[in-house]
Structure 1
Amino acid sequence: MRADRLLTIMLLLRTHARLTAAELAGRLEVSERTVLRDVEALSSAGVPVYAERGRHGGFALLPGFRADVTGLADTEAQVLFAYLGLDTFGDLGLSREVRSALHKLAASAPDRLAAPAGRLRDVVHVDRRRWFAEPDDITHLPALRRAATERRRVRLAYRSPRDDEPVTRMVDPLGLVENGNRWYLVGYHRGEPRTWRLARVRRLQVLDEPARLPPDARLVAVWDELRHRFESSPGPAATVHLRVRASAEATVRTALQPLLAAGELRVRHREGPADDTGTVELSGDFRLARAVIGVCLGLADDVEITGPADLRARAAMTAATAARRYQGPGAEPPASPSPGRSGPDSADRPTVG
């Protein structure tokens, strides 16, 4: 335990250049007396750590001192190398820097860690793409990463779902958040914190002027507050009822999963594999009714919205609008009804089964 603490002190002093005994004690969750004993032990072992007195004093390492990373346990090495291998860094435009860091760590780590470090990466694969979903356009992510780290203002051309054309915004970037494989910019517009989904950024210009951020703004705290504000906003999630072809249940569940506002997709009134029509009934809580309609119409051969009634009506209007748009000149005539789906009661029967 003490060896780990000594190594941590060296790494902290390498990172922060100078820290007081109180600051080290707070980070290590030990007493200042323990820190003083540890610093003395480091000095006795030949580590060039020294104390500077005065108002801005503290402990520091002699410039140029480098410590071998020989204190890594096998599991720590596994986690470090596997984590640095995640493609999140590639999204940020830092793949080359990550590879360089890995090579330096590997060169300084002892030989006994070479095999354990690669094992976790060999048996765990992180695929952050969603099933049946187009990947987000994150073209502007590296530029926004640089703007956020350099605290520079940006001009965005942003197209929200409510806008027909992109709207220009002056944004002070605070940081970037990946949530469910979707990247968001967290920043301030006219002094108010907001989020922007990167896939909806059409144009970006990094300006040569400093970002105007509140001095106490912290990325994690602001993101948590914005997320809590959204999740607790008026208009609670509505329960949507679906009738789904039993053979397509897995596909429908996967397509709807990213849209769920709370809980899991639930199976209702299911006795056995399916009922006598070959369908099952599902229900789930959703906020974005428009998105649910889009998924269900896209899988119209396999799923039908059975409730609530207003959502069925919206789905019917959306389908009618699409039909009118695609029945223009040169459009193919609609196919004949499939056998078994015609008859006087076909309008009341499910479109699946």
Structure 2
Amino acid sequence: MRASRLVSLLLLLQTKGRMTAQALADELEVSVRTIYRDVDSLHAAGVPLYGDAGPAGGYQLLDGYRTRLTGLTEQEAESLFLAGLPGPAAELGLGEAVSAAQLKLMAALPSSMRDRATRMSTRFHLDAPAWYYDPERSPFLEVVADAVWHARALEVSYRRWQAPEDVTRVLRPLGLVLKAGRWYLVALGSSRVSTYRVSQIQAVRALEETFERPVFDLAAYWAASLEDFQARQHTGSAVLRLSARGWSSFASHVLPVVARAAEESAVPDGSWTRVTIPIESVGHATGMVLRMGAEVEVLEPVELRERVTAVVRELSALYAPGGATGAS
């Protein structure tokens, strides 16, 4: 355990530069006194490590010193071959770089780890896009990614879902997100941070203007955006009765947020279960109800119940003897 911690301490200094004893202690979840002892051990082992006192002080490796240790455990080495998605990397123009990096990593690993890593890469494959969707064409992805990396402003022609459909914007790109095989650009516009689907960019021009990237947590922004999207997506609610079979399969027919709402509101109703769920619209909810057939009954709202009834009557007339096909 201590040997692993010493390697971790060394790698932290190698990757982050100067760090105080307290910062090292926080990262490694040990006491400051333990850090002092570990530093003494590294000194004794000949590692060129020195410390400066004062508010701006801390421990630092001698300039130019690089250890050849990776500190990788077997599980960590295996996971690296799951972390790289070759498809998205190629879309960003990094396909060759990822292949070269994996090749170098493989060459640097001990033979035992190399065998395990090879087995991992040949037995597990990550496929990011969702089912039933063709990969989106995003011809300007590399230009956008370069602007994200170099904090360079972009002038984009963008096609929206609402009028006016075609707009021109000057954006300060903050990050890229890959969601279900689709790329999204998170960027600062004239006044606020917004999300843009990269495939909807019709033209792009990298400007000479660069900008100072603000402190921005891309992961936190994305999580909040998804939560806000789901809240705005469901504008109404419905009360349903589900048979035992309908209740057991309900989660497979709806989004997780709807399934959670059903779970939280579930009340026994004889051999059935009564639930209250959020819905996007009467039309959208009608399709969900019809997919479940006779395993669900709509209680509220009246508009949804009437719409399902009307569709069922239309289907009954269509499939009745002498219906639409027979009449022709």
| TM-score normalized with structure 2 length | 0.72
Query: What secondary structure, in the 3-state scheme, does the structure 2 residue paired with 1:171 have?
Result: strand
SS in 1 for 2:193: strand
Partner SS for 2:60: strand
Q: Matched residues in 1 for 2:283 and 2:211: separation?
A: 35
Per the alignment, residue 226 of structure 1 pairs with 225
Q: Distance in 2 between matches of 1:109 and 1:312?
A: 66
The one-letter amino acid of 1:145's match is A
SS state at 1:10 partner: helix
Secondary structure at the counterpart of residue 161 of structure 1? coil
| CA–CA distance in structure 1, aligned partners of residues 156 and 285 of structure 2 | 29
Q: Structure 1 262/154 Cα, relative in aligned 2: closer, same or farther at 3 Å? A: farther
CA distance in 2 between counterparts of 1:48 and 1:290 reads 69
Q: Give me the whole-angstrom Cα distance separating, in 2, the residues matched to 1:172 and 1:122.
A: 40
1:235 CA drift (Å):
4.2
Which residue, 263, 266, 272 being the options, matches 2:259?
263
CA distance in 2, matches of 1:199, 1:114: 38
Q: 2: CA distance between counterparts of 1:180 and 1:238? A: 27
**Residues 94 and 120 of structure 1: is their aligned pair in 2 closer, same or farther, counting only changes over 3 Å?**
same
2:14 partner letter: R
Matched, 1:152 2:163: no
Q: What's the offset of the Cα at 1:42?
A: 1.5
1:266-305 aligned at under 5 Å gives the runs 287=280
What is the match of residue 58 of structure 2? Answer: 58
Identity of aligned residues (%): 32
Q: Is residue 175–residue 185 contact of structure 1 (8 Å, CA) maintained in 2?
A: yes
Structure 2: which 5+ runs fail to align? 241-250, 263-276, 288-292, 311-317
- Residues 50, 62 of structure 2: 8 Å contact kept: yes
Contact kept, 8 Å, 1:68 with 1:108, in 2: the verdict is: no
CA contact (8 A) 2:52 2:58 kept: yes
Contact 1:260 1:285 in 2 (8 A): no
Q: Is the 8 A contact 1:86 1:126 kept in 2?
A: no
Per the TM alignment, residue 310 of structure 1 is displaced from its structure 2 partner at its CA by 7.4
Separation in 2 of the partners of 1:288 and 1:138?
A: 31
Contact persistence 2:82–2:126 (CA under 8 A)? no
Shift of 1:79: 0.6
SS at match of 1:18: coil
Q: In the alignment, is the contact (CA less than 8 A) between 1:155 and 1:168 conserved in 2?
A: yes
TM-fit CA distance, 1:216:
3.3
Matches of 2:19 and 2:170, distance apart in 1: 38
Contact kept, 8 Å, 1:155 with 1:206, in 2: the verdict is yes
Alpha-carbon distance change, 65 to 103 in structure 1, aligned in 2, over 3 angstroms: farther
1:143 aligns with 2:143: yes
Between 1:192-201 and 1:131-140, the stretch displaced more is 131-140
Counterpart amino acid of 1:263?
A
When residues 234 and 178 of structure 1 are mapped into structure 2, their CA distance, relative to the original with a 3 A threshold, is closer
Residue 75 to residue 234, structure 1, CA distance change in 2 (3 Å) = closer
RMSD of aligned residue pairs (Cα, Å)? 4.2
Are the counterparts in 2 of residues 173 and 211 from structure 1 also a CA contact under 8 Å?
no
The number of residues matched between the two structures is 292
Q: Structure 1 unaligned runs (5+)?
A: 242-252, 267-283, 297-302, 317-339, 348-353
Question: Structure 1, residues 122-170: CA drift from partner, whole Å, max 9, x if none?
Answer: 2111222333222122322222222112212111211122246421112
| TM-score normalised to structure 1 length | 0.67
Cα distance between partner residues in 2 of 1:342 and 1:9: 76
Which residue type is aligned with residue 216 of structure 2?
A: A
CA offset digits 1:188-217 (Å, max 9, x no partner)? 22221211111211112221212365x332
Give the deviation of 1:175 after TM superposition: 0.8
The amino acid of 1:159's aligned partner reads R
Q: Which amino acid aligns with 1:236?
A: T
Q: 2: CA distance between counterparts of 1:99 and 1:289?
A: 49
- What letter corresponds to residue 43 of structure 2 in structure 1? S
Kindly state the Cα deviation for residue 12 of structure 1 after the two structures are TM-superposed: 1.4
Counterpart CA distance in 2 for 1:91 and 1:9 is: 35
